[in-house]
Amino acid sequence: MDTEAVRSFVRAAELGQLQHAADELGVTQQAVSKRIAALERELEIRLFTRTARGVELTLDGQAFLPHARSIVTGVERAITAIRPNSRALRIDVLGFRSGQAVILHDYWRSHPGTDLDVVTLRAADPQVAVAAIQAGDIDASFRTITDPAALPRDVRMVHVLDFPLEFLAGPRHPLAAARTLTPAQLRGHRIWVPGIAPRCEWGVFYDQLATELDLRIDGAGPNFGVEVVLDTLADSADVATLVGNRDRLVWPAGYDLRRIPVVNPTIAYPLSLLFRATDPPPGLRGIIDYFRSLATLPEPVWRPFWTRRSAA
């Protein structure tokens, strides 16, 4: 089996676009298409269906994906085994459009000599990231363990940045014309955050946010991706959501969505970095310092309990 074809399949599955996979792999879209077509012929199944947005996995493709990831990981480990210290610094982010990925990209652009491999584990449970760090699959992860008792001694967690959240709504929402909003003004309005998974850090965050600030957080429905959320907001007069101020969101001009800062207090989502406690990769220090050098938030600020507890 052609391992480059398997690698192309994995990246296309994770990114949902053949062109994006080609850009990451440094080849043409036609090359990626040919590799995947050859893989489908060898397996005698269809791995993808094409949609208006790109490609989606078939049921067979979904079944093959975790095994394909194992193949790619095995090849990478084999190469690493014969090239000591050759692997790039591998950091897990929640998503390539997330604010953490945006800032990490800014760091990489300002430090062009940094050998960086940015990945996403596609797992809501932060313990998956902990296990990947312990196994050496990744060097660090922008995840948070909200219960310090659940953090193993061989993994360290440091707080690196607070993201202020913004209110995102369509033009027909009753708060759409506001320049800023307070949490008190959000009370009673439906804030839709679909697909909040058990044991995820943002589930803990939104539970506490709803309780302490008396907000209506609606986690109903599966998460079909940010595009579906944006589509829904554009057509709705009563649904809104909260997004990080650094999250990279793009929507059609006709949607006329509004990103409105939340103040008095600013709602802060704390960002932490997990990495091995002993002998961490030296390149992490510069990344941590870069994140911590960014502007602090104007007071007053609301933060969840684990940041208050670990403020020292």
- Among 293, 297, 295, smallest CA distance to 263 is for 297
The continuous run of DSSP H or E covering 162 comes out as strand 155-169
- Taking a C-beta distance cutoff of 8 angstroms, is the pair 294, 160 a contact? no
The CATH code belonging to domain 1-85 is 1.10.10.10
What pLDDT does 74 receive? 87
- pLDDT for residue 82 is more than 70: no
What pLDDT does 312 receive? 36
What pLDDT does 232 receive? 95
CA quadruple 17, 20, 26, 30: dihedral sign: positive
- pLDDT for residue 85 is more than 80: no
Residue ranges, CATH 3.40.190.290, the chain: 163-267
**Mean pLDDT in residue range 76-94:** 74
Ranges assigned E (strand) in the chain: 48-51, 54-57, 89-92, 116-119, 140-141, 155-169, 190-192, 216-218, 239-244, 258-261, 266-276, 301-302
Q: What is the DSSP letter of 262?
A: B
Which residues contact residue 149 at a Cβ distance below 8 angstroms, ignoring those fewer than 6 apart?
Answer: none
**Mean pLDDT in residue range 108-133:** 90
**Mean pLDDT in residue range 201-219:** 94
Question: In this structure, which topology does domain 163-267 adopt according to CATH?
Answer: D-Maltodextrin-Binding Protein; domain 2 (3.40.190)
Residue ranges, CATH 1.10.10.10, the chain: 1-85
**Higher model confidence: residue 299 or residue 291?**
291
- pLDDT for residue 41 is more than 50: yes
- pLDDT for residue 139 is more than 90: yes
- pLDDT for residue 146 is more than 70: yes
**Mean pLDDT in residue range 78-91:** 69
- pLDDT for residue 270 is more than 90: yes
